[in-house]
């Protein structure tokens, strides 16, 4: 974001009434920090959250989606499966007790009537601080993971290997720890797991000068044992 540029919050509005969506578009013209995205079906709302689970600060749902034979509370449950930290507000013109009760059971952030236009804007804005916190936490975790990968890669590369996994990083830390010890090091592992690379890294990181490779075959294992023991 450039200096002096205001923060914009994307809000997803899903309502099967075209007039309601038009009224919301007009209302949002007075709120420059809110960027509205408007869809007329629950399926479209679900698809948008699938594509970008953290891209919307708030999702505003109508309660009745009659053509799709579903309601806002059921849609909210599906959206929470995609992002359990999503802020959802349900807005409806139904004044019966069913919409608020089912919305409460669905654990949405708020419930307002369509007549309360100012209340809707307030309910939306009340979600912004939580969204800021969620996004900041997510970004920090991403940055921490990236920094860890960079640190892992640096140590692993210094050992003449490639990778950035925590497991390989642990192997390299162990190499650092044992490299300067005067004891014999036995490297074990299945064929192709990189035993030779580990052995070479130990020699490179230590005072050891001689480095030779000896392939051991089972048929003459007793002879190699004697070589390693210094008998031959």
State residue 16's pLDDT score: 94
Q: Which of 67, 65, 93, 95 is nearest to 78 (CA)?
A: 65
The mean per-residue pLDDT over the stretch 74-96 comes to: 94
* Cβ contacts of 194 within 8 Å, gap of 6 or more: 161
Domain ranges in the chain are: 9-126, 160-229
State residue 220's pLDDT score: 57
* Cβ contacts of 142 within 8 Å, gap of 6 or more: none
pLDDT digit string, tens, across residues 159-189: 888 887 888 888 888 888 888 887 778 888 8
Q: Which of 207, 201, 208 is nearest to 187 (CA)?
A: 201
Tokens representing 136 are 């900041």
Q: Do 9-126 and 160-229 come out as alike in CATH topology?
A: yes
Q: Is the pLDDT reported for residue 128 higher than 80?
A: yes
Q: Is the pLDDT reported for residue 231 higher than 50?
A: no
The mean per-residue pLDDT over the stretch 62-67 comes to: 94
Sign of CA dihedral 36, 42, 47, 51: positive
The mean per-residue pLDDT over the stretch 92-96 comes to: 91
The mean per-residue pLDDT over the stretch 195-200 comes to: 87
Domain 9-126 in this protein, CATH class: alpha beta
Q: Is the pLDDT reported for residue 232 higher than 50?
A: no
Tokens representing 98 are 């069913």
Rounded-to-10 torsion of CA 160, 163, 165, 166: 10
Give 54 or 228, the one with higher predicted confidence: 54
The listed CATH number (3.20.20.70, 3.40.50.300, 3.40.50.720, 3.30.590.10) that belongs to domain 160-229: 3.40.50.300
Q: CA-CA distances (angstroms) from residue 121 to 2, 18, 33, 53, 200?
A: 26, 19, 12, 22, 65
Residue bearing tokens 């919409």:
99
């Amino acid at each position: 974001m450039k200096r002096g540029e205001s923060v914009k919050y994307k809000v997803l509005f899903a309502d099967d009434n075209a007039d309601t969506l038009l009224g919301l578009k007009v209302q949002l013209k007075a709120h420059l920090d809110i960027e509205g995205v408007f869809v007329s079906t629950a399926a479209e709302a679900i698809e948008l959250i699938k594509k970008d689970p953290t891209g919307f600060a708030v999702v505003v749902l109508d309660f009745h989606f009659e053509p799709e034979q579903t309601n806002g509370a059921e849609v909210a449950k599906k959206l929470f499966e995609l992002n359990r930290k999503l802020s959802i507000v349900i807005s409806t013109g139904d004044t019966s007790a069913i919409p608020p009760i089912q919305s409460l059971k669905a654990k949405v952030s708020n419930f307002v009537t369509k007549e309360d236009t100012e209340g809707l804007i307030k309910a939306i804005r009340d979600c912004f601080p939580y969204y800021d916190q969620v996004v900041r936490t997510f970004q920090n975790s991403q940055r921490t993971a990236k920094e860890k990968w960079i640190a892992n890669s640096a140590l692993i590369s210094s050992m003449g290997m490639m990778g950035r996994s925590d497991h390989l990083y642990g192997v390299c830390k162990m190499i650092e720890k044992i490299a300067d010890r005067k004891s014999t090091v036995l490297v074990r592992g299945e064929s192709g797991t990189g035993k030779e690379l580990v052995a070479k890294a130990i020699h490179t990181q230590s005072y050891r000068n001689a480095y030779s490779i000896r392939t051991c075959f089972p048929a003459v294992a007793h002879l190699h044992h004697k070589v390693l023991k210094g008998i031959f």
